[in-house]
Structure 1
């Protein structure tokens, strides 16, 4: 890094991702949590201050700030959830299995399946203190285009490193069903979408039909897939903010086709020359000078993995469709009055926009 970047990196400790006040309606019973954790770890002292991290469109993430150290609590959202979604016990066990071979996974400290504590399953893990690149990089953290490119490659390399793991050799062959993953995903997400339609929802029948017709007969490979790998799920070293030190949100990790995982990631990859609507929906800083374009990500991934990436149309459309289903699921909860978070009010419009992107990609494939 340059001298300027080192100077800014030295102040980056103050840019560590910070939580805020707990949102109304998403409060936790501090006394019950504290009692549960002290039963698991009698060495804990004091009572934690509870704060909440931003986001929370899916699982909710809280900081338990004890006097001597911090812990992170993950729980499902309040209100309706899909039957197979938000399985906190599975997420925690996946993390426990992966951590010995993929050191970016946070250490799980406690798992709770007792509904008397919070009324839901949850787990508590270590806090990896660092910078999380959200919609924009933190104020005051200025990287040159060259440094931004190094950061971008560092993030992509962590995905490539995950996909390089042989799940059977690593003892993770039971993490998922593997073969038939593509079909299960297309059919599963199509079924989920139809179940959360609202009167104002997008149709998506043309998209779902195209995916069903175009899906490859077999997977390109069977690897560990994260299924939500993006910039705001990585943690950067506060002293060297182009280095990834943590990967978060393992809720949907399983065994499957790594190109599906890449397609999921690229659905969030908004680049500088995208249309104004997509740019307005940006959740990560992939528009910055120095960031790779989607085409460059695909080429780099193919070069590093040796996997065939000549025809990514199917995977790109799948990624956009899956994102639209996630958005529509959240909007459905809002429309049904099961969550009051005002940021969800416009999610129906976002799903309709994503249908247009899918149809445009199909038309040009």
Structure 2
């Protein structure tokens, strides 16, 4: 294991500092066993929950808190995220160990929880310098990642007392109506109205429903890999969106981010994980592998692919809406409307291929 390949946090962003003394007092009272001064660093991103690394002489731990300002009802629920992972840990060992939670906002100005830090490689747009997977290793990583998702989907959530994490029945219908509403509300003049895609999704809702635990943001950049063997997964992160849902819709969400080697320039410009490398599966191979392992027929997957892309279009448009209406001046969001067009184009292409 080398220091250069292990994922690390960076400087704390201006305005997002933590009150050191109050936090340290809470940690000593509720966690204990932390030696020496506390060094605070922060992980980049910040569009969702803010994530910090708290370093001590004897260990590092992770703190997650919601972003500042108003938030949507039910969003950024740290207590739910903490309890879900704590309950899931005994039946899905890739969840980080939870250490403590508080809704006392007087400590740092918001509710928060702390958990163990899993040290390893996080494969973002590219692997860290010095990590080079050959074709066989790339293929194996895809298989191992899908095996972990399948393992999650096969957890007996009732025996694990996790029935409370989602409504379950009627999930597909709620997701489609919800994302149609969110996209329509966030629509700006320069993006498609999406009516054709919306109507197709409503018309092609699955008639048979399977409910399981779903992650809903399962991507390579939410996996922690062993630095000594980058085909081995040590942990799965970011359970903010986990619920009881449809396993194939969960896979559809993952496929929306899966950029493959022969994709066009626009897809590659948005790449967030190294799925384009030689040996990595194509999206169709992902579908075939998952369905074979689960004993499913890999036909009629178009609904799940279109759903994943439409949901991503909704997420992107919600972000762009904030920029368009000057609620943020982050220049990274300036041209996101172009990507919304592209995602809708992909949806329509799959619909046409499906021929229904």
- Please tell me whether residue 358 in structure 1 is matched to residue 352 in structure 2: no
Kindly indicate whether residue 282 of structure 2 is the aligned counterpart of residue 282 of structure 1: no
Q: Distance in 2 between matches of 1:42 and 1:153?
A: 39
Alignment partner of 1:175 out of 161, 165, 170: 165
Cα distance change, pair 182–236 in 1 and its aligned pair in 2 (3 A) = same
**Number of matched residues?**
354
Specify the SS of the correspondent of 2:216: coil
Larger displacement relative to structure 2 (25-34 or 57-66): 25-34
Change (3 A) 1:42 1:144: closer
1:142: how far off? 1.1
Of 120, 137, 148, which residue of structure 2 is paired with 1:130? 120
Shift of 1:272: 0.5
Measure, in 1, the Cα distance between the counterparts of 2:267 and 2:304. 19
Residue pairs, 1:197-236, within 5 angstroms? 197-219=187-209, 221-236=210-225
Equivalent runs, 1:78-97 vs 2, <5 Å: 78-97=68-87
Unaligned runs of 5+ in 2: none
Q: Deviations over 1:105-164 (max 9, x none)?
A: 001111121222233222111100000000011111111101111111111111011111
Cα distance change, pair 30–353 in 1 and its aligned pair in 2 (3 A):
farther
Secondary structure, in 3 states, of the residue corresponding to 1:15? coil
Match of 2:311 among 318, 322, 343: 322
Counterparts in 2 of 1:311 and 1:63: CA distance versus 1, 3 Å: same
The match for 1:187 is: 177
Tell me how far 1:79 sits from its aligned partner.
4.0
Quote the residue 1:102 is aligned against: 92
Q: Secondary structure at the match of 2:99?
A: strand
> How far apart, CA to CA, are the structure 2 residues paired with 1:245 and 1:75?
23
Residue aligned with 1:117, SS: coil
Does structure 2 conserve the Cα–Cα contact (< 8 Å) formed by 1:132 and 1:232?
yes
Q: Work out whether residues 213 and 244 of structure 2, in 8 Å CA contact, stay in contact via their aligned partners in 1.
A: yes
- TM-score of the superposition, structure 2-length normalised? 0.93
For residue 62 of structure 1, give the secondary structure of its aligned residue in structure 2: strand
Cα distance in structure 1, aligned partners of 2:122 and 2:311: 24
Q: Which moved more, 1:15-24 or 1:265-274?
A: 15-24
Counterparts of 1:240 and 1:295, CA distance in 2: 26
| Bigger shift: residues 153-162 or 73-82 | 73-82
Task: Verify: 1:19 aligned to 2:38, yes or no.
Answer: no
Paired position in structure 2 for 1:5:
none
Structure-2 change in CA distance of 1:80 and 1:179 (3 Å): same
Give the whole-Å Cα distance in 2 for the aligned partners of 1:266 and 1:90: 26
TM-score (norm 1): 0.91
* Structure 1 residues 135 and 203, CA gap change in structure 2 (3 angstroms): same
1:3 matched residue in structure 2: none
Per the TM alignment, residue 333 of structure 1 is displaced from its structure 2 partner at its CA by 3.3
Match for 2:108 among 118, 123, 130? 118
The Cα of 1:32 is off from its aligned counterpart by 2.9
Asked whether 1:33 is paired with 2:47, we answer: no
